Structure 1
Amino acid sequence: MIRKKFSLLPVLCASLLLLSSCAGRQPDSAEKAKNVHVLSFAERQTVADKLDPALIRAQNRLGLRLHEKLAESAKDNILLSPYSIFTAISLAYQGSGGQTAEEMARVLGIEKIGKEQANASVRTLYTLLGDAGSGVRLNSANSVWYRKGMEMKEPFIQTAENSYHADVQAVDFENGRTVQEINGWVNEHTGGKIPAILEQAPDRNTVAILLNTVYFNGAWQNPFDPKDTTEGDFTLSDQTTKQVPMMKRTGMFEFKQTPEAQAIRLPYGDGRLNMLIVLPAGGHSLADVMKGIRKDPSTWQARFEHASGEIRLPRFKAESSLELSDALVAMGMKQAFDPAAADFTAMSDAKPLFVSSVLHKMVLDVNEQGTEAAAVTEMAMAGSAPPAGRFEMNVDRPFFFCIEDGQTGLWLFMGTIGNPA
């Protein structure tokens, strides 16, 4: 008897959106009512204190490890949402067992945490991210789409709905309307910035698709004046230059300078979320700086001293579409992709059931009004010193960025920009 190979597409869209074209528009009361209770800063801190810091570190390190693997293909711009990717894979992990679960837990970095504690942290993060403060919209959503007639186990469905707040529904993947429904769900939950994740009906062996989306729209706490934006040179890694619009602002900033790099933190809204930019110093490449960040990300996860200065930053839009399967296999998540060995019996008894694809889409828009990205907090480095006098930081060459939740240390978005043109 020939057994059908049932493929599972977890993270068919770990899709994240960084958008600021309408930055500053805050969700109205109806939107907030649909999400969660609006928390004060003190209430959010109380909730944040309940989070296991190991889970936050795991998510950030997953992003850095994936970035390292993806950088081997030498893309100009590498854009990731560690939170989105972690959440989607973690949802699939809830349905895994045996060695498959062990490998997934190691790649996620939660082998010492366990499923129940991971679920509790996911629920806590959902509460925190549901209200990101004034001047910021931040929405995350999950969904599970599975083939009609397939028996999905009730404990998995309950976990998906209760811990991940996922929409779970049985569909006919061979019906063209299903593709429209899935793309419509993605379009709705990314504010229209990622209108589709599926170009055609899934492979006929696909039995489930797990999706996570993250939408962020943040207004700068202190916007850039468009009148100060001028054309300037941006030097690419091959030492050629391109003309890009360079925004400029002066003032007081969290700033740090080391022999290897300059770093600045630009806050959004009420300051809970920030963008951190790390710019390699002359004589140091972005690859050198990334080695240091991967070796010890905590270096960039403490507050900087404040200094007066000027920042020049490109105004740009970037997007990426990545297939993460090879990178995840290289990181040790092998059995999940093996039709003969994958164990997702906690999700369904369908056999074989395995991961066939992991896709990640991201759109990033940085302009005078706002952005979305990630911010990092940083610790004092050996050999560093507070900047003397007024600083100048001209982001005119490849750089690292991230958008961080200051209360938890979570990197919602991160990446490197090698060509903003």
Structure 2
Amino acid sequence: MKNLMVWGLLAMMLASCGTTQNKQNINTDINAKIEATKPLDNMDNEYLILSDAQQSIVDRGNQFALNLFRTQAGMDSKVVSPLSVSFLMAMLANGADSTTKDEILSTVAGDKSLSVAELNDTYAAFLRMAANGDKLTTINIANYIALNKGFKLKSTYAGTVGSKYAANVENLDFASPKALKHINQWCSDKTCRMIPSIIDCLNPSDVAVLLNAIYFNGSWTHQFPKKNTRLENFQGYTRDIKKVDMMHQERKFFYADNSRFAAVELPYGNGQYSMTVLLPNEGVSINDMMKQLTAGEFAKLQQQMSECIVDLKLPRFSTTTNVSLNAPLSALGAKTMFTSSADFSGMADAGVFVSAMLQKAKIEVSEEGTKAAAVTAGVIALTALHEQPRHVKFHAKRPFVYTINEKNSNAILFIGQFTGEEE
């Protein structure tokens, strides 16, 4: 369960750092000090518990989260939502077959033999948890498919994404500016205006846009007193010194450390959601830390944390990231869906492929808590439109032959040649 809470926010957690600590041996349970929320009305708690198979999918989803984050290596601040990508990839998996489906499943779930039905049940369970979990924390997940007029999804596919992913399917005229405005308005509405738009333009030849939006708004269980925030030095990636607004508090948090990094867990609301901050030790870079971090180690870290009195400093920050996912996902193994060889025969009768997948994400961390949002979009186009035109030269500087043809029958009406001489 704890891994599931971390999954959707993992990349957001990894984007933040900066803590000092004073570890002591304290065995009391911090959760006992957190006031429990009112029990859910008419909701069976067993309904919100994952099966072993579903938990296994979540665990492997955490590995995908780490793999995806590693593709974004660089010196700038960034945030991505691997859960948002996984939701979109799962919807694509329902329409995929053969190699395309195998690659999608291997990339997001680590197992090409995984049943798509099991994948669907896991995401449906996560949607239930998001809607009925911590009443002190807001997490909204929405899925949407915009179809160009005249393009139809197979009924089985539309039914599955509707029932398992609560995806609204809508027909729009992609040639009209209203379609672009409508899609971007959906993004803005579902993220409380944190992501005001996702697509800059629509190609009238595109046939569909698949979208997932995630919005998170959580107040710290233990907020940072604003009076403690000071402008302090922060050593940048290249050891340059920057000035940041540093928040500060000292209290009991779950904490762990090892030879590579220290970690502290900051709960939101009643504790169902939390931020885990991983701070590399002196002399260890983020890249060095992430190269060795696996989903198994991360899960073990969560279990090994003990309650300590932590002298905690954390920057107040805001980060926005806009990333194309074609290359990262291809590098992670899901490459066929971006090519003319893509098989989405379960989605539509026409040959289609994913022409572009992109994500916009934003996170705001303050004394009160965290707001974060992400929208992932997959643009679907007809396979025939995928091949990129070759760059060639055609300089008719020597004799040539020409014909005049009727297009439908290809009948030659005229044929001739030109050798440079004119009548």
TM-score of the superposition, structure 2-length normalised? Answer: 0.75
Q: Note if contact 1:293-1:299 (Cα within 8 Å) is conserved in structure 2.
A: no
Amino acid at match of 1:368: E
What is the rounded CA distance, in whole Å, between the counterparts of 1:153 and 1:15 in structure 2?
A: 33
Name the residue aligned to 1:193.
194
Name the residue aligned to 2:368.
369
Structure 1 residues 219-248: Cα deviation after superposition (integer angstroms, max 9, x where no partner)? 000110000000111101111010000000
Name the residue aligned to 1:418.
none
Paired residues for 1:158-237 under 5 Å: 158-200=159-201, 202-237=202-237
* Structure 2 residue matching 1:357: 3-state secondary structure: strand
* Structure 2 residue matching 1:128: 3-state secondary structure: helix
Q: Does 2:140 align with 1:139?
A: yes
What is the rounded CA distance, in whole Å, between the counterparts of 1:282 and 1:276 in structure 2?
A: 19
**Runs of 4+ deviating beyond 4 Å:** 14-18, 40-46
Q: Note if contact 1:344-1:354 (Cα within 8 Å) is conserved in structure 2.
A: yes
What is the rounded CA distance, in whole Å, between the counterparts of 1:285 and 1:41 in structure 2?
A: 49
What is the rounded CA distance, in whole Å, between the counterparts of 2:58 and 2:371 in structure 1?
A: 19
Q: Give the 3 Å change call, closer, same or farther, for CA 15–306 of structure 1 in structure 2.
A: closer
Q: Give the 3 Å change call, closer, same or farther, for CA 46–345 of structure 1 in structure 2.
A: closer
Q: Note if contact 2:253-2:309 (Cα within 8 Å) is conserved in structure 1.
A: yes
Shift of 1:53: 1.5
Amino acid at match of 2:251: G
Q: Does 2:90 align with 1:90?
A: yes
What is the rounded CA distance, in whole Å, between the counterparts of 1:286 and 1:244 in structure 2?
A: 19
Name the residue aligned to 2:254.
254
Amino acid at match of 1:239: R
Greater percentage in helix: 2
Q: Which has the higher contact order (CA 8 A, sep 6+)?
A: 1
Paired residues for 1:15-26 under 5 Å: none
Shift of 1:15: 12
Structure 1 residues 167-223: Cα deviation after superposition (integer angstroms, max 9, x where no partner)? 1011111111111110111100000111111222x1232101000000000000011
Q: Note if contact 1:156-1:346 (Cα within 8 Å) is conserved in structure 2.
A: yes
Shift of 1:17: 12
Shift of 1:290: 1.1
Q: Note if contact 1:261-1:280 (Cα within 8 Å) is conserved in structure 2.
A: yes
What is the rounded CA distance, in whole Å, between the counterparts of 1:168 and 1:225 in structure 2?
A: 45
Name the residue aligned to 1:330.
331
Shift of 1:291: 1.8
RMSD, aligned CA: 2.4
Q: Note if contact 1:17-1:215 (Cα within 8 Å) is conserved in structure 2.
A: no
Paired residues for 1:21-420 under 5 Å: 39=40, 43-44=44-45, 47-50=48-51, 52-71=54-73, 74-109=74-109, 110-200=111-201, 202-294=202-294, 296-339=297-340, 341-351=341-351, 353-372=352-371
Q: Give the 3 Å change call, closer, same or farther, for CA 330–17 of structure 1 in structure 2.
A: closer
* Structure 2 residue matching 1:270: 3-state secondary structure: coil
Structure 1 residues 268-312: Cα deviation after superposition (integer angstroms, max 9, x where no partner)? 000111110011111222222112223733333325111113100
Q: Note if contact 1:16-1:213 (Cα within 8 Å) is conserved in structure 2.
A: no
Counting matched residue pairs gives: 337
Q: Note if contact 1:131-1:138 (Cα within 8 Å) is conserved in structure 2.
A: no
Q: Note if contact 1:15-1:360 (Cα within 8 Å) is conserved in structure 2.
A: no
What is the rounded CA distance, in whole Å, between the counterparts of 2:218 and 2:333 in structure 1?
A: 35
Q: Give the 3 Å change call, closer, same or farther, for CA 185–233 of structure 1 in structure 2.
A: same
Percent same amino acid among aligned pairs? 28
Amino acid at match of 1:121: T
Shift of 1:373: 6.8
What is the rounded CA distance, in whole Å, between the counterparts of 1:142 and 1:62 in structure 2?
A: 20
What is the rounded CA distance, in whole Å, between the counterparts of 1:148 and 1:41 in structure 2?
A: 42
